[in-house]
Structure 1
Amino acid sequence: MARRHDRRRTAERAGDPYAADAHDGAPYGSDRHPGPQPGPAIELRGVRRTYGRGAGTVQALRGIDLALAPGSFTAVMGPSGSGKSTFLQCAAGLDRPDAGEIRLGGEEITALGEKRLTELRRSRIGFVFQSFNLLPSLSVEQNVLLPQRLAGERQDRARARELLERVGLGGHAGRRPGQLSGGQQQRVAIARALITRPDVVFADEPTGALDTRTAHEVLELLRQAVDSLGATVVMVTHDPVAASFADRVLFLAGGAIVDDLPHPGPQAVADRMVALTARPVGAAA
């Protein structure tokens, strides 16, 4: 049992809360988290994160202030080293900021203990990764249900089947991930991210490993999750076309939000990125 818990802690420190062993002994049917609260789905207030010391100090986030409404789709872009990954890690509760507050559905999460934070990640946050991160020994349906199982909740097979139908994999529930294409595996990952009706779904370069047509299909599914299911999606991407599926694009540079583009089109996003890359770090937007 100790070895099983060690594997889970290692996986979550690596930023993959779904790559844990599928059974942790938690009782099934425990209480669900409260429904969505009024106000922002997620809010960051003065969030700062610094790595290293002395001359090697890196200010990854420099006072991020942001509030995202429920049912919104936000893309986050920026040059390499701009703070995108740190932003996602902190906002999703996978890393702790040095200063500031992060609120999820109105609940302040930065001061939570590790046990409560783990429970929150499993029940109130969904994740979609570039590398899919499905468990090869589990069936497609079991992978979709994994967040509920890890959270000790009743496994809602009817909802899992509904989500698999929505992502076009209704006939694949019994297959293993290794029997699916990359695009199909990412569809499973989206269904898995939505199974607990999370406050926010964080997508980290979700189309980075896919061809253009398959990437478009995956982005359409994320868009539909927002429009049809009321999901809140925050997506880190380097692709202007992917960003154009969002309601707005936030641009990071030097650990700060330096630009904000509503109703983005691919060319407008690309132009902003070119301008951003050419501007010295720290310059005003």
Structure 2
Amino acid sequence: MGAGVEQAVTLSAVARLYGRGDSQVSALRGVSCGFARGSFTAVMGPSGSGKSTLLQCAAGLDRPTSGSVFIGGTDISTLSETELTKLRRERIGFIFQSFNLLPSLTARKNVELPMRLAGRRPGRAQVDQALRQVGLGDRGDHHPSQMSGGQQQRVAVARALISQPDVLFADEPTGALDTNTSREVMGLLRSVVDHAGQTVVMVTHDPVAAAWADRVLFLADGAVQGELYSPTVAAVTEHMSRLGG
């Protein structure tokens, strides 16, 4: 973590255990890492390495067994469930592999949803701006069934960005998309970092997707096993092959 660089998310000695007694499994083993504001980090590792658990703990979806997680200067491990829910709605954006759009709602209404759940009413101009930001300014009245997979994922990105979150967490965002559509979505995530100063933390198994990031953080057996800056597809692939991924 560079001195003087403000961290959007910081994990300090985070451990996560599941189960009890002899059947206990260590998903994370004392992980410490930071994600700088305005940066794009990919998190990679073999199956079972703890990358999804890392994302869930960092995003306040799961509580660490020990250690602490900070969103900006807020130690989220000290928050009540109610406070945590409020923080997730106001300061964190999520993008998932399955787009998680509500089929009965238009694109515009899907984008509005997180703010409405938080008790805020976004203005139409704000929603339209979010849709324009993802290249769907003319699709606000369309339902998910009238859109391609790539367009649905773009709506999901707009929904994640509407509240101008401190950090955007993406879990395999291109996992359900073909190569060309994946490239469009990754280009979009890259642009919200470069042009909107957004912070993106993305779990992926795809070296091509990871190469869009500024940094790749590698996990294996619940621990950080190195990082790579200005990653290339070849360098990521080679590092993953050493980890057995």
TM-score tier (shorter)? over 0.9
The Cα shift of 1:276 comes to 1.0
The letter for the 2-side match of 1:235 is M
Mapped partners of 1:114, 1:55: distance in 2? 29
For residues 2-45 of structure 1, give each alpha carbon's deviation from its aligned partner in whole angstroms, at most 9, with x where no partner exists: xxxxxxxxxxxxxxxxxxxxxxxxxxxxxxxxxxxx83101111
Distance 1:183 1:148 in 2: 23
Q: Is the 8 A contact 1:145 1:156 kept in 2?
A: no
Residue 87 (str. 1) matches residue 54 (str. 2): yes
Deviation (angstroms), 1:153: 1.7
Which residues in structure 2 correspond to 1:67-86 (within 5 Å)? 67-86=34-53
Partner residue in 1 for 2:235: 268
Give matches, 1:113-262, under 5 Å.
Answer: 113-262=80-229
CA contact (8 A) 1:145 1:157 kept: no
**AA of the residue aligned to 1:122:** R
Q: What SS does the aligned partner of 2:78 have?
A: coil
What is aligned with 1:55? 22
> Runs of 5+ in structure 2 lacking a partner?
none
Task: Judge which range, 117-126 or 149-158, deviates more.
Answer: 149-158
Contact 1:61 1:86 in 2 (8 A): yes
TM-score (norm 1): 0.83
SS in 1 for 2:242: helix
2-side partners of 1:191 and 1:225: how far apart?
10
Determine the C-alpha separation between the residues in 2 that align with 1:97 and 1:129: 21
Query: Alpha-carbon deviation of 1:154?
Result: 2.9
Unmatched 5+ residue regions in structure 1?
1-37, 279-285
Shift >2 Å, 4+ stretches? none
The answer to which structure, 1 or 2, has the higher relative contact order (CA under 8 A, 6+ apart) is 2
**What is the number of residues matched between the two proteins?**
241
1:163 shift after superposition: 1.8
Percent of aligned positions with the same letter in both sequences?
A: 61
What CA distance in whole angstroms lies between the structure 2 residues aligned with 1:47 and 1:104? 14
Q: Secondary structure at the match of 2:226?
A: strand
Once the two structures are TM-superposed, the CA of residue 111 in structure 1 deviates from its matched residue by 1.5
One-letter code aligned to 1:57: Q
- The one-letter amino acid of 1:218's match is V
Distance in 1, Cα, partners of 2:191 & 2:124? 21
- Separation in 2 of the partners of 1:83 and 1:247? 21
Give the residue type in structure 2 aligned to 1:75. A
1:24 alignment partner in structure 2: none
RMSD, matched Cα: 1.1
